[in-house]
Structure 1
Amino acid sequence: MEEIIEKAASELQIDKSLWSLTKFGDIAIQQKQSVDRDNTELTRYVKGEHMGSEDLHLREWGELTDEYLGPAFIRKFEKGDILYGSRRTYLRKVVIAPFKGITSNTTFVIKANEKRIDKRLLPFIMMSEGFTDNSIKNSKGSVNPYINWKDIANYEFLLPPKDQQAELAELLWAMDEVIEREKALNEVTINTKRSFFKKYRSATNYKPLSYFCSVSYGLGQPPPKDENGVPMIRATDISKGKIDTENFLRISSKGIPKGRDVQLSKGDIIIVRSGAYTGDLAMITKECEGAVAGYDLVIRSDERKINPIWLQEYLLEKEAQNYYNGESIRSAQPHLNSRQVLETLIPYHSIEIQNRVSDYLKNFYKCLESSNRKIMVSKALQKSLINQIF
């Protein structure tokens, strides 16, 4: 199925000679129905942070009883409406509501004008480069830029005839189905890995991290930049066991103070020391060997006592993450120091058990890497397809 869709997408020849120049406001209708939250049957709300970037599917939301919501949360949406984040539009937050609920007045609620457009096509227009570029260009403000409805309503693009719209919508949604199926498989693998590792998250005996590892500080203030220099790993490069190598800051090796042991080795674990992602971490792979740590902390394992793969898996689990969260919020700005990390309690298992478990974990990681690669390829193809059409 995937191969057929990819072949169809790659061989797509689009004749736009019969397409008509159309304003977005002619095919999209803004909904502005307000809700009295104290007198409504609606139970769910959607915030901007619930909406993922470049993801049409809503995967998180809140219940009205969960927390206090500010006075801006008055906008009603229906199942099937499109929710569009009008602030920081470069984030491309466009989702299709899977239920009815409430959102803030800074989130545009949009219905398709079905006399002019197949409603299945509308969200893909909003994901296109042309639409996003128009939103960014017309945004007001610098700290938290926002777009007005009239500015996106005036956006012009070529719209295919109704019969061709249906064909294109089917192709785009088939591509989306491929991505969602791969994501579901990815989630199954993650849950299976967690179930497998669960029994190793506890033990009859615990030891502080200091028994197994040393902890050191990264460079702190970066030396001068150098395009051909040494990569420096920062907090923004780290996400739940993964390191994003695409946007490394490169620094001059001459600027690294002599005597500072900040060069990273395979198996080191770098842990975010401060800010919103305090406690997040990732293990250094062969690809990142030789990079240096920025402001964050580096855990170096004594591999006679602990397997770094096993350790990373445990430190990403809720027991360790809850500890880091509790320690970090003691200061005004979330923050961890080396002492707090060294005091992390680790369930004690023999190195033989750890090595055996780590071999299984490596197989899970390979499956996830393969799955993530497929998702990336499919998303790139979908993005290319959207921009080819619009």
Structure 2
Amino acid sequence: MMTMKQNIVLKNLDKTNWKSFRFDQIANKISETVDPNTTDLEIYIGLEHIDAESIHINRQGTPADVSGGKLKCYPGDVIFGKRRAYQRKAAIVDFEGICSAHAFVLRANPKVIDPKLFPFFLHSDLFMHKAVDISVGGLSPTINWGQLKEQEFLLPPKDQQAQLAELLWTMDEVIARENEVLEKLIKEDLAYLKHYFYDDKNSERIKLKHIVSVKKGKKPPVLLEEGDGLPYCTAKYLRTGKIESIVPKESWNKSIKIDETDILILWDGSNAGEMLFGKEGFLASTMCKLIIKKEGFLKDFVFQFLRFKTNDIKRATVGSAIPHVDPGMIENIEIPKLTKIDQEVIINLFNSLNNSIKLVELKISSSKSLQKSLINQVF
């Protein structure tokens, strides 16, 4: 991924001739204010439009979305979230627009730091940790410019900065290409879901209540933070693999056992309607598993169909305080009645797509970890 030249740059990071600079020598704070009600600018960036750990802005709003004085930003500036700095939001601007007053608009001083290196510097652990340390306030800690400008940072000579910036932008381009591949695969997945389950007007259909039964999870009488037993399969555990609780052996007969082949649906809560495959363990009380009771329907086919119907299921949740899936809605969904061979073709297609998506996601995660490691090696 890195060239020999780029590896040499990193290996030769001798910091003996590096110099320390105050932050107000490294960057200027741009404080040009704009009234959203009278501006001709069309783009507004709030902190909600900036992703943590990303130097890019991928979403935007309009000035009509907000009121009150906002800050003007120009191409090349960096919007840095001064409120809740622990969220690590700092992204480079490639347009003329306005941004939240809960951010600093920072402009690199090219005499001290290469503007191409500046956004990566702001994402270094060194800078972010200092930003968090000097934040004040309880519920919404905020950075005061008077304190930030006095912080000192060690920087390499300008010629070395250019080499480092080139390396980090090369890594960024790799991540961008991988994200493009991922986006195409996700669109392809959605297109196939629509093709097989929405556009198909010819297949005979049957209501889901005739082919599946629903079994609700139970909370065991005893749960352990650690020890012998099997995982309590919450949605968080199923998504991340991080075990939150253990079901000890003495509670197994009062719990619902599941494994990797089970189709699960998140029944209660803000994400009610989400479809998941199980893991070995015991089903959480907020979830249900679907049991195929009619021969001729393959479990993976039913899962893919319900994945297509997830948004409909979520929109039909009932209950104000704690939303939950409407069982009547689930029962009356009509699923295509296909031969096993046709079901297997569809299953294999989606399995192949899913494997490709997971592989690209792994590559993106690896590339981001490497980029972050490089940033922290430098700073």
TM-score (norm: length of structure 1) = 0.85
What is the CA RMSD across the aligned residues, in angstroms?
2.8
CA deviation after TM superposition for structure 1 residue 171, in Å: 0.5
Matched, 1:260 2:239: no
* Pairs within 5 Å for 1:174-213: 174-202=170-198, 203-204=200-201, 205-213=204-212
Alpha-carbon deviations, 1:146-200, whole Å to 9, x = none? 3333343333221111111111100111111111111111112222222233211
The residue aligned with 1:160 is: 156
* Pairs within 5 Å for 1:289-308: 289-290=280-281, 292-293=283-284, 295-302=286-293, 304-308=295-299
1:138 maps to a residue whose letter is I
Measured in 2, the distance between the counterparts of 1:250 and 1:297 equals 18
Alpha-carbon deviations, 1:84-137, whole Å to 9, x = none? 222332221221123222222112222111221101111111111112222222
Measured in 1, the distance between the counterparts of 2:118 and 2:221 equals 45
The residue aligned with 2:74 is: 78
1:231 maps to a residue whose letter is P
Matched, 1:279 2:278: no
* Pairs within 5 Å for 1:1-390: 2-4=1-3, 8=7, 12-64=11-63, 68-69=65-66, 71=67, 74-202=70-198, 203-204=200-201, 205-220=204-219, 223-228=222-227, 229-237=229-237, 243-245=239-241, 247-254=242-249, 256=251, 258-261=253-256, 263-284=257-278, 288-290=279-281, 292-293=283-284, 295-302=286-293, 304-317=295-308, 320-328=309-317, 330-333=318-321, 335-337=323-325, 339=327, 342-343=330-331, 345-350=333-338, 351-390=340-379
Measured in 1, the distance between the counterparts of 2:112 and 2:104 equals 20
Alpha-carbon deviations, 1:40-78, whole Å to 9, x = none? 11122223222112111211222345xx43x35622222
Measured in 2, the distance between the counterparts of 1:311 and 1:62 equals 39
Measured in 2, the distance between the counterparts of 1:212 and 1:139 equals 57
Measured in 2, the distance between the counterparts of 1:37 and 1:325 equals 35
Distance 1:374 1:298, change over 3 A: same
CA deviation after TM superposition for structure 1 residue 314, in Å: 3.5
CA deviation after TM superposition for structure 1 residue 225, in Å: 3.0
Distance 1:11 1:117, change over 3 A: closer
2:141 maps to a residue whose letter is P
Measured in 2, the distance between the counterparts of 1:186 and 1:81 equals 28
Find the residue that maps to 1:359 and give its secondary structure: helix
Find the residue that maps to 2:374 and give its secondary structure: helix
TM-score (norm: length of structure 2) = 0.87
Q: Percent identity?
A: 30
1:361 maps to a residue whose letter is F
Find the residue that maps to 1:140 and give its secondary structure: coil
Are the equivalent residues in 1 in contact too, given 2:75–2:95 (CA < 8 A)?
yes
Distance 1:341 1:381, change over 3 A: farther
Alpha-carbon deviations, 1:261-320, whole Å to 9, x = none? 1x2222323333444433333223xxx323543533333445844434334433344xx2
Measured in 2, the distance between the counterparts of 1:49 and 1:140 equals 21
Measured in 2, the distance between the counterparts of 1:7 and 1:277 equals 44
Measured in 2, the distance between the counterparts of 1:249 and 1:208 equals 36
Are the equivalent residues in 2 in contact too, given 1:179–1:379 (CA < 8 A)?
yes
Distance 1:113 1:200, change over 3 A: same
Find the residue that maps to 1:343 and give its secondary structure: helix
Measured in 2, the distance between the counterparts of 1:308 and 1:48 equals 42
Measured in 2, the distance between the counterparts of 1:164 and 1:363 equals 44
Q: Which has the larger radius of gyration?
A: 2
Measured in 2, the distance between the counterparts of 1:312 and 1:353 equals 15
Find the residue that maps to 1:188 and give its secondary structure: helix
Specify every segment of 5 or more residues in structure 1 that has no aligned partner in the other structure, as ranges.
Answer: none
Find the residue that maps to 1:143 and give its secondary structure: coil
2:265 maps to a residue whose letter is I
